[in-house]
Chain A
Amino acid sequence: MESTITESRETITAGTSMDETEGLTYPRIECKNINVSYGDKQAIFDISLPIPDRSVTALIGPSGCGKSTFLRCLNRMNDTIESCKVTGEIIMDGENINDPDIDPVLLRSRVGMVFQKPNPFPKSIFDNIAYGPRIHGLAATREDLDEMVEKSLRRAGLWEEVKDRLSSPGNSLSGGQQQRLCIARAIAVRPEVILMDEPCSALDPVATARIEELIDELRKRYCIVIVTHSMQQAARVSQRTAFFHLGELVEMGDTDQIFTNPRERRTEDYITGRFG
């Protein structure tokens, strides 16, 4: 399993043009001509976007610009919305994951997601983390599972706070802790990509700072895509930024470049607060 992934990564690296993602690692996910529509209403127009590995890509833009919709294409959560139609290619490990032949269940075990509002299962902290490994059969023994839970919680920076009360309900934690629990839950199934849909919008500044630190930490191991309304957050945590407006990708590039020297007028207006 490990070897095949490594192999496919190499082939992608070899075959993809690097002009746009210069200075970064090879793209983990390559989106080509993505169109999304809800019934008659088109939400995303022809977006092509490479997403680099081991770094944070921030999607910014005003409300309703399609950034969350785009994010949900990456683990096919849009499949759960009946009227939603996604066309285009999303290449990951040489496979088009938007292909109906690809089982979204398998995809989601490799592309984890963290939501806007912390949504722990109404179960114990331990069970929240252990659920994913259990259904995917990742842990052969109880010891494996314990270890996996501990590792995930450590990576999410929550272990020290909850190690003595793993059996208490996940809902009993504070908002920020719940969100870190959700991140730990996503990590536990050993994904390669983590999608975060405004993960801090329901949190106070202190909890937000902790999550941002955590994201910076996680970037070393995972490919992270984060949707955020806060431009400061995008500037703080991301290496790459894509600016969406009215369902179109206006501009993308290194975060520093987008925030200091945007190429497009609309981007500049948005980040300087003239609209949105």
Chain B
Amino acid sequence: MTDVAPAPFRNEKALKRLKKRRAADTRFRLYGLSAIAFALAALSLLLVSILSQAISAATYHVVRYDVVLDPAVIAPAGKDKPADVARNIDGFYELLRSNLLQTFPDAQGNRLATRQLGDLVTRLAVLPVAKAVAANPTQIGQELTVKVPLNDDLDLYLKGAVSPEARVKLGAVEQGSETATGQVRLSGPNAFKGLQSLIATQRAEVGDAADARSILVTSGTATGRVVSLSADNLEMDLLAGSASDFQGTRPLARIIALPEAQRNVSDKQIAWTLALKDMGRISRVPHTSLLTNTDSTYPELAGALAAIVGSLLTMLVTGFIAIPVGIFASVYLEEFAPRNRLTEIIEVNINNLAAVPSIVFGLLGAAVFLGFFGLPRSAPLVGGLVLALLTLPTIIIASRAALKSVPPSIRAAALAVGASRMQSVFHHVLPVAGPGIFTGAILGMARALGETAPLLLIGMVAFVADVPSGPTDESTALPVLVYSWATHAERAWEPMTAAVIVILLMFLITMNGIVVFLRRRFERRW
């Protein structure tokens, strides 16, 4: 009895082993946490990048015009029926353009300047105005205030998305006068020192490239482009307004990093836009037309309504086909089908179908629904059919899992009180499996909502200018709209695309929200 066994709580070896086990526990927890952290980081990166892009498309700039609806322009004799007025885009555009020319008389007589001024508003943007006037012809001859979206490039410029811009407030200008060569000279003691030093720092950064940059000096509605500069004197080409506008003010100078030749907006257009803004005629408003307009070649006019309706119609067709067929197929396979070689083969093939790339379903749809059955191209009906095929395996697999999870004792209980097999399924098994089945169905639908490839192949990528009124009309869908807008070259489409992605995400979140709600509300606990 000399060697006493160590107390069980203080055994060296056991403690060492325990420590190892603890370390393994901690390590495993860390792996798990880091995996979740990575997933969350990726998700938030995605959301942040999309939202930060989309946020600039949430608002846009509109220009206010106070015009007189001159019947000679918008409803000339012989073309004064409401239908004609509604179609008279040229007339309404002319009204706005002449309004702009009145505001900036310098542009008159200069073809290039006139055209550039006219570009401030897109021709087609007057269409809603024309329609509104045609619907209410008593307005003709009256004065009317209309608000029309600003050209997308200038909109981007005002949002700061065209080019980086350095700004500096100049010193007090004592005198502004026109020179013999038609330029404007501003002078004031040491007024331009700040600008000079800004140019110097830019030159130090980028070298001679700084010379190509436009330097715009703005005071109120007047803007000029700097030609030469000293500490006390500045000479510039006047782009808008007059020399006297600068007198006694402290103008704002901006150096636009992107040279004029590389921009879609000229210095002149920027000058006009700044002037209009100073006049209070440009305002930034919520971009509701994104939800109420249909597709357009002009970003400022384009909207996603046709795609939203198209997606809804497609989902309707998909849901009406895939959900009942999927549920009945899974109920039959799970509850009634005999277990033999044939059902096994069917099961394996359903699982295989779930793994078939979606574009293959698109090819199938194009060959069978369009080629063989001759259904209309680009129609939500066909899109819905193809997506129904695509989601069917998902729904069947999810529904079968839900049915499998119903305890067999429920079936036995029903059979034992004399229920037939169908009664036991429909009275007891389906109600219990219901939430699971609908969860699967909605998740399948959510997947279908985001599908692009199969819709491309059946022609739903077409440019659709009208809201589809039924499942056989030409249509497009939200993910396809994302695809086609993302392929446009113009910069303005970028935030627009992000905005459509956000709309699509909203749809998906809503559907997943329904799933969560269903689970919470109806799931039964055992």
Contact = CB atoms under 8 A, between A and B. Distances in A.
Interface stretch (A51-59, A102-110, A255-263, A264-272): A102-110
Interface string B405-434: 001011111111111100100011001100
B418 A105 contact: yes
Interface in A167-196: 171, 182, 185-186, 188-189
B347 to A, nearest CB: 16
A120 interface: yes
B410 A121 contact: yes
Interface residues of A, number: 26
Interface stretch (A16-24, A28-36, A128-136, A233-241): A128-136
B418 A106 contact: yes
Contact of B416 (A112, A117, A135): A112
Interface residues of B, number: 23
Nearest to B431: A122
B320 to A, nearest CB: 29
Nearest to A169: B524
B524 A122 contact: yes
A176 to B, nearest CB: 17
Given A80-B415, A171-B526, A119 B420 contact: no
Contact of A105 (B407, B411, B419): B419
B339 interface: yes
Interface in B337-374: 338-339
Interface in A113-127: 113, 115, 117, 119-122
A75 interface: yes
A115 B409 contact: yes
Contact of A189 (B411, B418, B423): B418
Contacts of B419: 105, 131, 135
Given A135-B423, A136-B418, A82 B413 contact: no
A115 B418 contact: no
A77 interface: yes
Nearest to B339: A82
Interface in B512-526: 524-526
Given A82-B339, A122-B432, A171-B526, A115 B413 contact: yes
A186 B428 CA distance: 16
A119 B339 contact: no
B432 A112 contact: no
Nearest to A109: B418
A82 B338 contact: yes
A212 B521 CA distance: 39
Contact of A121 (B338, B339, B414, B525): B414
Contacts of B432: 122
A246 to B, nearest CB: 25
A23 to B, nearest CB: 31
A171 B432 CA distance: 13
Contacts of A120: 413
Contact of A119 (B410, B418, B431, B524): B410
A135 B422 CA distance: 12
B409 A131 contact: no
Contacts of B526: 171
Interface string A132-166: 10011000000000000000000000000000000
B416 A77 contact: yes
A113 B416 CA distance: 6
Interface in B264-318: none
Contacts of A117: 409
A75 to B, nearest CB: 7
Given A122-B524, A131-B427, A189 B417 contact: yes
B97 to A, nearest CB: 72
B418 A186 contact: no
A29 to B, nearest CB: 17
Contacts of A186: 416-417
Given A82-B338, A135-B423, A109 B417 contact: yes
A63 B524 CA distance: 33
Nearest to B340: A82
Nearest to A185: B417
B409 A132 contact: no
Residue with the highest number of chain A CB atoms closer than 10 Å, among B409, B412, B416, B526: B416
Interface in A78-116: 80, 82, 105-106, 108-109, 112-113, 115
Given A112-B416, A119-B410, 7 more contacts: A77-B416, A80-B411, A115-B416, A119-B412, A122-B432, A131-B427, A132-B418
30 contacts: A77-B416, A80-B411, A80-B412, A82-B339, A105-B418, A105-B420, A108-B415, A108-B417, A108-B418, A109-B417, A109-B418, A113-B412, A115-B409, A117-B409, A119-B407, A119-B409, A119-B412, A120-B413, A121-B428, A122-B410, A122-B432, A122-B524, A131-B419, A132-B417, A135-B427, A171-B524, A171-B526, A185-B417, A186-B416, A186-B417
Interface of A: 75, 77, 80, 82, 105-106, 108-109, 112-113, 115, 117, 119-122, 131-132, 135-136, 171, 182, 185-186, 188-189
